[in-house]
Structure 1
Amino acid sequence: MTVRNKQNTFTDLLLYYYNHNIYKGYEFGQEINIECKDLKGNWGPAPTCIDTKSELKFFYGRDVFMHCNILVDTEEFYNKLVEYASQNDAWQCRVLVSPDETLKIYYPLQIPIWGIQQSDHIDIAEHINFLLHADEGLITGVSIYPVQDRHVSVRPKSVFLMHGHTKWFKGASFEELAMTAPDADSQEMLMPLIKKSNYIPIIIYCLFTLLLSIILGSILYKFYYRDDHDPKGEA
């Protein structure tokens, strides 16, 4: 299938499906689950934040400050973090481009563990930023990167904090997604809803109310305000 008058890219094809109601995109604020590979290499839920008792996740279009405390509950998990910090392995994760169950397309991402191994622990950078790009309810890009801020010592049975800003951008640009107005395609999708609404009586009612207010104001001015302030009536 080709997209007319557009470069036939993967994103254009997804937008074509979305605009023709072939499948749905994310709604603003909708929860986006993250899947990550477990210690055995199988896909499963993202790490659990013990402070919220829920998995690490995003919310479509919502700029927030991420705050997640992760428990290093086993030696196996600790050794895996050492592998990540040594860059001998990567914490592989993914998110669905669209929430539609009929079209499961994932966007790959990695949770970066930047640290230095010591004799009995590893020092890990706890500040991590999350950048996401989206267009018309579809995720078009994801990036997670560490920021040099403060390192924490991590050992088995300890807790390390993962925190940072989550920022959403429109399409391939760095224009804030939350600040953008609906584009022509979105307005075209809204027009059927506007046409179905019976807005003509509302407009007539507003015009009638305005006209009545002008008439009543003129009467009050003529018979009350002007007579009370007429210089000819003063002695």
Structure 2
Amino acid sequence: MNFKYIISIFIFILYINLIDGAKELTPFIYGDRISMECKDNEGNWKLGPICLNQKQELSVYYGRDAPLYCGIYIDEKELNRIKDVLNRNSSWECRIPISSESNTDDIYIPLSIQLWGYPQDDHLDITTHYNFIFHVEKGIIIGATLYPVKDKFQDVRKGAVFTIHGAIKWFNGGSHVELNDSLKLIKDNTNDFLNNLDYWIVILWIVLSMFTSLILFSLIYKYKLKPNLIRKYLKND
């Protein structure tokens, strides 16, 4: 057999395996910690932004609706970067993984921090309210966004701690049905099923008990009471 032909087949099989492997994603489970990555000033992906209160990068927990709170220290580089974002000269590019892990290169959903504010001569006025929204399906994140909501504006300057707050919400699929409501509905339906199952088990037990009692009575009558009655009447005759 031609050696090149064998090599071609081997490469083709390897390619097919890679394609199949790319489809195998490990879903998140409730409570899994999901870290956010953002590009630094040099364009490299790093964990962040770093929240001073938690002393770690901005993170969420899969399926867990919770308040969002993060205090970000503003040095000179960060101040200049935020000023560029507010002036729409650049974007604050971030990303999150769509699954817990995969057997190929990690797959991410792009996400940008949409800041709302106004540059001033010696500081920046930025709103502090931001909502973090996720859409998930069977443990896989299929969409995410972080957007500002009109609230108090903070005076942000070099050396300050820019504090953002808001809500983290999880939705089922591409809808706006809350994930926790979906889980509650499944739980309620399961409880209803179990309650109905208990009801029918009781009914079945009653029917079986009556049927068993009837059979026992018939056997007792046939083999005990009936012969005794026959003997009694024959004796009287």
TM-score range, shorter chain: 0.5 to 0.7
Does the CA contact (< 8 Å) of 2:26 and 2:102 recur in 1?
no
- Whether the 8 Å contact between 1:95 and 1:106 is mirrored in structure 2 is yes
After superposition, where does 1:78-93 map in structure 2 within 5 Å? 78-93=79-94
Aligned residue type for 1:94: R
Distance 2:79 2:154 in 1: 14
1:96-111 → structure 2 map (5 Å cutoff) = 96-103=97-104, 104-111=106-113
* Aligned with 1:23 (options 7, 13, 25): 25
Give the structure-1-normalised TM-score: 0.67
The DSSP-based 3-state class of the residue aligned with 2:126 is strand
Q: CA deviation at 1:51?
A: 1.0
Take 1:179 and 1:80, find their aligned partners in 2: how far apart are those partners?
39
Corresponding residue for residue 163 of structure 2: 161
Q: 1:89-136 CA deviation, whole Å, 9 max, x = no partner?
A: 110000111121414211001011111011100000110001100010
Distance 2:184 2:162 in 1: 40
**Any idea what SS the aligned residue of 2:64 has?**
coil
Specify the SS of the correspondent of 1:68.
Answer: strand
Give 1 or 2 for the bigger CA radius of gyration.
Answer: 2
Give the distance between the partners of 2:80 and 2:109, measured in 1 at CA: 27
Measure, in 1, the Cα distance between the counterparts of 2:167 and 2:52. 19
Question: Is the Cα contact below 8 Å between 1:133 and 1:170 reproduced in 2?
Answer: yes
- Counterparts of residues 1-235 of structure 1 (less than 5 Å): 17=23, 22-72=24-74, 74-103=75-104, 104-181=106-183
Aligned to 2:4: none
Q: Give the secondary-structure state (helix, strand or coil) at the position aligned to 1:40.
A: coil
> What is the total number of aligned residue pairs between the two structures?
169
Task: Look up the match of 2:13.
Answer: none
Structure 1 residue ranges (4+ consecutive) displaced by more than 4 angstroms after TM superposition: none
Residue 229 of structure 2 is matched in structure 1 by: none
Cα distance in structure 1, aligned partners of 2:113 and 2:99: 21
Q: State the secondary structure of the residue aligned to 1:147.
A: strand
Q: CA, structure 1 residues 119+182, in 2 after alignment: closer, same or farther (shift >3 Å)?
A: closer
Aligned-partner SS, 1:69: strand
Q: Equivalents in 2 of 1:64, 1:98: separation in Å?
A: 20
Q: Deviations over 1:18-47 (max 9, x none)?
A: xxxx43100111001111001111101011
Q: Distance in 2 between matches of 1:37 and 1:125?
A: 22
Contact preservation (8 Å) 2:128, 2:151 = yes
SS at structure 1 position matched to 2:101: coil
TM-score computed with the length of structure 2 as normaliser: 0.67
Within 2, Cα distance between the matches of 1:43 and 1:100?
Answer: 18
Structure 2, unpaired ranges of 5+ = 1-18, 187-200, 210-237
Q: Residues of 1 paired with 2:184 and 2:108: CA distance?
A: 26
Cα RMSD (Å) of the superposition? 2.5
CA distance in structure 1 between the aligned counterparts of 2:166 and 2:87, rounded to whole angstroms: 22
Q: Which runs of 5+ in 1 are unaligned?
A: 1-12, 185-202, 212-235
8 A contact 2:132–2:167 mirrored in 1: yes
On the 8 A contact 1:86/1:115 being kept in 2, the answer is no
Question: AA paired with 1:147?
Answer: V
Cα deviation, 1:26-76, whole Å, max 9, x if unaligned, reads: 01110011110011111010111111111101111110001111100x211
